[in-house]
Chain A
Amino acid sequence: MKAAEFDYARAASVEEVCRLLDSANGDGKIIAGGQTLVPLMVMRLTRPSLLIDVNHIETLKGIMIDSDAVVIRACTRQYDALNDVALAKALPLLAKGLAMVGHPQTRNRGTVGGSLANSDPAAEICLLARVLDAEITAVSSQGSRVIADKNFALGAMTTALSSEECLTEVRFPIWQIAGRIGTAFDEMSIRRSDFALVSAACQVALDQSGVCRRAVVGIGGAEPSPLRVDAMEQRLVGTKLEATDLAAAADLLRDAIDPITDNHASADYRRRVARELSLRVMTVARDEALAARN
């Protein structure tokens, strides 16, 4: 398990990353935390000719929070994001999901942007980006663009990023809505630290009378990339999120989802678990919102 040969370059700036990517003619790979990329390289499932190290670019690190959004720069360690108190306050769901990423040693090295760029179907951060309608900034020598998360993941381990683009930051908008917000994240993994067979995330906003004004529910691990079901979310809005509402929404999810089968679980299993976990996160998020002080 030794990687095939490659050239290595430690980039000092995003501009240099872009230049190096251009020079590699589509065969360059960016390494940030390496927690996903290095196993693929030593198994020789990925063979970049040039590895571009972004770990020393200070402008790719840091978390910025204002009333509109939490912005996490791409090379921010998952550990740093998880331990950011202001982040947890601004976007509790983000903190809840980050706590379920890998285990301490992979979080210490793994990055938020790296997880997104690899787009593993079961990665918690990809699901968080999906439910929070994240905006992902990518830079190339041609300039920069912002990609809405719903357009970002194209399937398992494939994204809208071109081989000349460098993911620089991800922006998680904070809901600008009057009301009480509740969140929940849950997942089913065989061992606790494993990638989830199915994960679920939910964020709801209730008004003063307990009526749901906005709801998002996302499912990871079940399909090649995280999914949301519009009809399900619409079913919740305007209700008081009674058990019957949640069950009806969960049924809509169950009917809409088209899960994968692999050696750990069947599609039917994932469908049942997706329905169940969606129920659990909707319930917890609702209860949290109800308990929240305005």
Chain B
Amino acid sequence: MSEHDITLKVNGRTYRGKASARMTLVDFLRDELRLTGTHTGCEHGVCGACSIIFEGQAIRSCLMFAVQADGASITTVEGLAEPGTLSVLQDCFWETHALQCGFCTPGMLIASQTLLDKNRLPTDEEIREAISGNLCRCTGYKQIVDAVKLAAQRLSGLNAPVKSDG
């Protein structure tokens, strides 16, 4: 049936591709653009593994058809840091070992990053709320919450005036 030309800006780069109407955005990102960092865990909007930043907001890319995203600007896990580097948040996930198998991790990073973008010093409760739509089966969430807290501290520390009294 209907096939559509799609232009997307992903991680700052413009991509063009074709998709049938029924292709979800996550399938387009993964299968057509080969950006496989975004994962699919349930394809019905519950697990959050497919989270991406769409026009500045974290959303589930399995709940949108690719054709709907034509013209949109998207950030995926591959775009959270300059190639070859890790963002402060990613580095904090490493520091606290906030992952095990790594499958939910891209979605967790997206959910946490969009929290920190809006709220530089979130409480534990705010962190838990922000990642509550992302299921993780490995970690029990503890080290993820620790990672986001650590990132918040580091990010705010970057902006804080230097203290001389230690």
Direct contact of A and B (CB under 8 A): yes
- Residue ranges of A at the interface with B (Cβ–Cβ < 8 Å): 1-8, 10, 31, 33-35, 38-39, 41-43, 51, 53, 55, 79, 102-106, 108-109, 192-193
Instruction: Check if A109 sits within 8 Å of B43, measured CB to CB.
Output: no
**CB proximity to A under 8 Å, residues B80-129:** 111, 114-115, 129
Q: Which of B2, B4, B133 contacts A104 (CB 8 A)?
A: B133
Contacts of B130 in A (CB 8 A): 104
User: Chain B contacts of A51 at CB under 8 A?
Assistant: 21, 65
A38 to B63, Cβ gap below 8 A?
A: yes
Tell me the B42-93 residues at the A interface (CB within 8 Å).
Answer: 43-45, 48, 51, 54, 57-60, 62-65, 67-68, 70
With contacts A8-B4, A106-B45 taken as known, whether A2 is within 8 angstroms of B22 at the C-beta atoms is: yes
Majority DSSP secondary structure for residues of B touching A: mixed
In the assembled complex, the CB of A89 is this many whole angstroms from the nearest CB of chain B, namely 21
- B24: interface (CB < 8 Å): yes
Contact A103 B57 (CB under 8 A): no
Contact of B24 among A5, A31, A33, A42 (CB under 8 A): A42
Q: What are 16 A-to-B residue pairs whose CB atoms are below 8 Å? A: A7-B1, A7-B2, A10-B67, A31-B68, A38-B45, A53-B68, A79-B57, A105-B48, A105-B59, A105-B133, A108-B58, A109-B57, A109-B60, A192-B132, A193-B132, A193-B133
CA distance A41 to B43 in the complex (A): 11
Binding site for A on B (CB under 8 A): 1-2, 4, 20-22, 24, 27, 43-45, 48, 51, 54, 57-60, 62-65, 67-68, 70, 111, 114-115, 129-130, 132-134
Is the pair B60, A55 in contact by a Cβ cutoff of 8 Å? no
Q: CB distance A8 to B21 under 8 Å?
A: yes
Q: Write the chain A residue with the least CB distance to B40.
A: A1
Complex: chain B residue closest to A38, CB-CB:
B63
Alpha-carbon distance A268/B105, docked complex (angstroms): 41
A55 neighbours in B (Cβ, 8 Å) = 68
CB distance from B34 to the nearest CB of A (A): 19
Q: Pick the most buried of A10, A34, A43: most chain B CB atoms within 10 A of its CB.
A: A34
Q: Which residues of B contact A193 (CB under 8 A)?
A: 132-133
The CB with the most chain A CB atoms within 10 A, among B21, B44, B45, B67, is that of B45
Whole-angstrom distance between the alpha carbons of A38 and B21 in the complex?
12
Q: Are B1 and A42 in contact (CB under 8 A)?
A: no
Residue contact B60 to A105, C-beta cutoff 8 Å: yes
- The reply to whether B44 and A6 form a contact with Cβ atoms under 8 Å apart is no
In the complex formed, the residue of B with least CB distance to A43 is B44
Given contacts A8-B65, A34-B63, A105-B48, 15 further A-B contacts (CB under 8 A): A3-B22, A3-B24, A5-B1, A5-B20, A6-B1, A6-B22, A7-B1, A10-B70, A31-B68, A38-B62, A39-B63, A42-B43, A105-B60, A105-B111, A108-B57
